[in-house]
Structure 1
Amino acid sequence: MKKVGIRLAMAAAALLTSIGVQAGVLRTTITFDPVDTSTLAFPPLLVYGDEFYQPGLGGRTMWLDPFSNSSIGGAGDLVGAVVDGACADLGCPVNNASNYVAMLDDGVLAFGSTDGFTFSVQSLNASFIGSGDVMSTTPGYLALQGVRNGQSMTAYFALTGLDANGQLNFSTIDTGAFGDYEFDNVYAFAYACKGSSCQAFSSNQAQFALDDIVIEHVPEPASLALVGIAGLAYLGARRRRAA
């Protein structure tokens, strides 16, 4: 009877694989190469009130909304820029020659799918952007706040400081447990640190750069159905052993 159970388990695994391929885990990378700047008021600058778009999951479109969370922020305020690898007069990362988004003056970047399709953030490339002041070993933290159905979750990731040449660099951040959850939209913002004190939305120095945002969608109903099929296969094997 053990062989029957093994055969059933193998058949269930094959079926799960087949259905999993059909259902499909969707994954894509938001690279900002290129960026359609026709929707921006003053391209390549990003101001509060702008919105631009990038390819999303399964042929969908992602919206990206830069804004200020400052208590005195308002429409038209400068909050960032689409950078083509060059970043004059700022302490920008030096190891990325492609397009990326730089958020300045405590700016926030919100993003989501135009049709409300849920997604998780698996990883991204990020860097602190200097303001000309002396930086701490850990100059800041990147915060990702995901929102779904009115509930939210926030994760924090340390941004690396200056290298041996006194320059900032992009580093790849794996979001870990945050990537296990899907959201309607995600907010990216930063904390700037001076010594042991870190602040967001109050210093105009919480500046950061983002690129290569890897997003993913796992079809939840299909996943639940697969668990049910596996359970039925196991139950069938038990009944045969009992007989």
Structure 2
Amino acid sequence: MLATCAVASLVPAQGAVLDFEAGPPALYADGSGFEQGEFRFRVEGDFGMLDTAAACADIVCPSGNDTQFYAGLNDSSLSVQRVDGGTFSLLGFDAAFVAPLEFSPGSNVGQIVVEALAADGRRVFGAWDAGKSGADGAFSFARHAGDRFAAFGNITSFDVFACVYGPGGGCFRPAQNLAQFALDNLQVAAAVPEPGSAALLVLGCAASMLIAGRRRRAPAPAAH
């Protein structure tokens, strides 16, 4: 039993990919949202949409993704958390800049930003360059994962938004409705227990074994 408890404390967190395929195409206003699996999404700001690149008319949707994705438009952000309010890890995502108009090829206009709330109350930030526009003036989806996501290992929620490069090299939001992003294939997992929590789990199992052993060794009541 003790070995079983030790193994349980070391089992990798079970992951999931949130791909925005579960719901129909839709527009979402400020404060509205949707759910997929164990996660809830809420739009903060002007509006966002679930659809494919083929649905884009007044904006230049990114290339490299023929499936349904989420687009945050007009300086808005997307807030993500578990339905039960529990902790989890963010391991990676696909993202791109959504251009309000066709840019010159090779334009580098902004970043994709993640701001998360850790379980201990800390704010955790990460920013990824949105890359350069292609020959058609559109941006392409890129995969972001790896060591930079270690800081997002025990969080209760996170917000995703875009910012736009401005004077002095800063990245700004709000940006006159120019900060727009596309998001897909969020890789998430249940939070991995802290080392102290894993040790407490093993100790708790050991205590249960000790109590069970004492019960087995206790003398049976005398027959009358």
TM-score > 0.5, shorter chain as reference = yes
Name the structure 2 match of 1:208.
181
Aligned-residue offset at 1:106: 0.2
2:18 paired residue among 16, 23, 30: 30
Deviation at 1:217, TM superposition (A): 2.0
1:114-153, aligned counterparts within 5 Å?
114-132=83-101, 134=103, 137-148=107-118, 149-153=120-124
Q: In the TM superposition, what is the alpha-carbon distance from 1:228 to its structure 2 partner?
A: 9.4
Superposed displacement of residue 224, structure 1: 4.3
Task: Give SS of 1:203's match.
Answer: coil
The residue number in structure 1 matching 2:162 is 190
Q: Structure 2 residue aligned with 1:62, among 17, 39, 48? A: 39
Q: Which runs of 5+ in 2 are unaligned?
A: 203-224
1:76-117 CA-to-partner distances (Å, cap 9, x unmatched) read xx4111112312231111211111000000001001001111
Report the Cα distance in structure 1 between the residues aligned to 2:78 and 2:98, rounded to whole angstroms: 15
Describe how 1:1-243 pairs up with structure 2 within 5 A: 18-20=7-9, 23-35=11-23, 44-55=26-37, 61-68=38-45, 78-86=46-54, 87-132=56-101, 134=103, 137-148=107-118, 149-174=120-145, 176-180=147-151, 181-194=153-166, 196-220=169-193, 224-225=197-198
Q: Report the Cα distance in structure 1 between the residues aligned to 2:146 and 2:174, rounded to whole angstroms.
A: 23
Task: Measure how far apart 1:141 and its partner are.
Answer: 0.6
Structure 1 window deviating more from structure 2 (135-144 vs 184-193): it is 135-144
Aligned equivalents of 2:47, 2:96: Cα separation in 1: 16
1:150 positional shift: 3.3
Cα deviation, residue 139, structure 1: 1.5
- The CA deviation at 1:133 is 6.0
**Residues 128, 161 of structure 1: 8 Å contact kept:** no
Moved more, 215-224 or 80-89: 215-224
- Check whether the contact 2:164–2:175 (CA below 8 A) recurs between aligned residues: no
Find the aligned partners of 1:227 and 1:117 in 2 and give their Cα distance. Answer: 19
TM-score, normalised relative to structure 1:
0.71
* DSSP-derived class of the 2:155 partner: coil
TM-score normalised according to structure 2 size: 0.76
Q: Percent identity?
A: 22
